[in-house]
Structure 1
Amino acid sequence: MSALFPTPRDLKSASQLQRELAARVLLTGDLTGVRKVAALDASSRRGEPLVAAAVLWDLAEERVLEVSVAATPPEGLFPYVPGFLSFREAPTYLAALAALSEVPDLLLVDGQGVAHPRGLGIAAHLGVHLDLPSLGVAKSLLYGVPAGELPEEAGSAVPLTARSAQLGWVYRSRARVKPLYLSPGHRLGLREGLELIRALPAPTKLPEPLRQAHLWAGRARREGLRGRFTPQRP
């Protein structure tokens, strides 16, 4: 599905590569033709393999079409360093994506897009590497500040900014719960990314495709699941 994912020798070369790839990010694009979204999440524990799940979600039918799971042993992982997590997690995500029966129209990633100190969170890194539209949905703030106070109502959003530029959104998916941090990764506009998340079902804090990816990644780690699965239709 993609060329070999480059692994830097050290943090200096990793930082340089991030800046080079960030220069290729496009923050324009709409949802025309987007129907099948791959939601990505990972699960790991110290000393165990990193397990990644790719959930292929049909926007029109609002259901999971298939799931693929891949794993990387701990000795094959890039060191855990905040700000450089894409080098640790992306190869396993790529393996999970490659196991899907079709290429998704868009990536929905548990992590940052351009809301990153060097402009290349994992959603941006994967988006540029695969040349696919991508959106990061993070549960915690890494970079930037909210431009105002976020209302308590579900669906509320305020811009997430840094150095006078908007990087994404602080978004309240459920009333009176902690917000999510949305930032486009590649080939997607700021407004379009927010529209996508608002349109997705969200019975819990996370949009349903990402909730499913989270559940599958945790289950796969606990039960040792690997490969591709086709859930039964309800």
Structure 2
Amino acid sequence: MQLHVLHDWNLTPEAAIALQQKLRDRVVLTDQFGEVRYVAGVDVGFEAGGTVTRAAVAVLSLEDLQLQDRAIARRPTEFPYIPGLLSFREVPAVLDALENLQIEPDLILCDGQGIAHPRRFGIACHLGVLIDRPTIGVAKSLLVGRHAELPEQRGSWQPLIHKGETIGVALRTRPGTKPVYISPGHRISLETAIAYVMRCTTKYRLPETTRYAHKLASGPAIDAEEVVQVGKTAEQLPLFGE
């Protein structure tokens, strides 16, 4: 997967904020993609006390949610942990992992925010704009905004409102669990993002894409050359319950 990076990563926090405000004008919030055969999950973990960033991408076939490809990349952690600027800390390693894929995903679900962000430019937006692919933010926790209480049934949702603007939804993917927070990243509408997240979610709270990527990014340290079994369902591979 060949990538084209639009900017340098050696930035101060102030310069990073200014870049977010500039690049957010490139975010497209309408459906601009064709058939989706392969959907990917992206997640990032850290090793060596946070000094090494470990990014993982898991590519699944949309039809049956079986793992088809994966890539892991490591690089030194160079940007500090600053809420709202996590993409500058994590995306460089994500780009390295994407470049090592053999199967190019048609849609990417990111563990983090899309436009549900103080400057409407979370990690899903940043990644989507850089690689010009449709992306969705699937966050486990709320960053900004408020929403009404959700019904308990699977698939129920409530708009996520911030400063009078709908920036995403709180989505119940499993009865009796906390919602996840869905927002468009790039080249996808909110309604379509909800539909694809539900399509990728089975009996757990998190989409299968996220579960595979999280296992690769945050599980026990493994060799980057380790071969992960493909063609296995989520039930056949050991993954986190949520």
Q: Considering the TM-score relative to the shorter chain, is it more than 0.5?
A: yes
* 2:9 pairs with 1:7: yes
SS of 1:145's partner is coil
Q: CA deviation at 1:13?
A: 0.9
Residue identity opposite 1:52 in structure 2: A
Name the residue aligned to 1:108.
109
- 3-state DSSP of counterpart to 1:223: coil
Instruction: Name the residue aligned to 1:176.
Output: 176
Equivalent position SS for 2:218 = helix
Which consecutive aligned stretches of 4+ in structure 1 deviate over 6 angstroms post-superposition? none
Relative to 1, partners in 2 of residues 1:105 and 1:232: Cα closer, same or farther, differing over 3 Å? closer
Pick closer, same or farther for the CA change 1:233–1:34 going to 2, 3 Å.
Answer: closer
Cα distance, 1:228–1:19 mapped onto 2, change above 3 Å: farther
How far the C-alpha of 1:200 sits from its partner, in A, is 1.7
Alignment match, 2:21 = 19
Q: 1:47 to 1:162 in 2, by over 3 A?
A: closer
8 A Cα contact 2:33 2:134, kept in partner = no
* C-alpha distance in 2 between matches for 1:228 and 1:161: 43
1:64 aligns with 2:102: no
Identity %: 39
Counterpart residue number, 2:139: 138
Q: CA offset at residue 103 of structure 1?
A: 2.2
SS of match in other structure, 2:23: helix
**Is the Cα–Cα contact under 8 Å of residues 43 and 50 in structure 1 kept in the other structure?**
yes
Whole-Å separation in 2 of the counterparts to 1:30 and 1:22: 17
1:8-66: per-residue Cα shift (whole Å, max 9, x none)?
52111111100111111010006641111121011115344111110011101321101
1:189 shift after superposition: 0.3
Aligned to 2:239: none
Aligned residues: 229
User: How many Å apart are 1:230 and its aligned residue?
Assistant: 4.9
Q: Which amino acid aligns with 1:225?
A: D
Residue segments in structure 2 that go unaligned for 5+ positions in a row: 233-242
Which residue identity lines up with residue 149 of structure 1 in the other structure? Answer: E
- Partner residue of 2:81? 80
Within 5 Å, which residues of 2 pair with 1:188-227? 188-219=188-219, 222-227=220-225
Which whole-Å CA distance do the structure 1 matches of 2:82 and 2:71 have between them? Answer: 26
Q: 1:233 aligns with which of 231, 234, 237?
A: 231
TM-score (structure 2 length as normaliser): 0.89
Aligned partners of 1:111 and 1:122 also within 8 Å: yes
Measure how far apart 1:227 and its partner are. Answer: 4.3
Shift of the alpha carbon at 1:145? 1.3
Classify 1:65/1:83 alpha carbon distance in 2 versus 1 (closer, same or farther; 3 Å): same
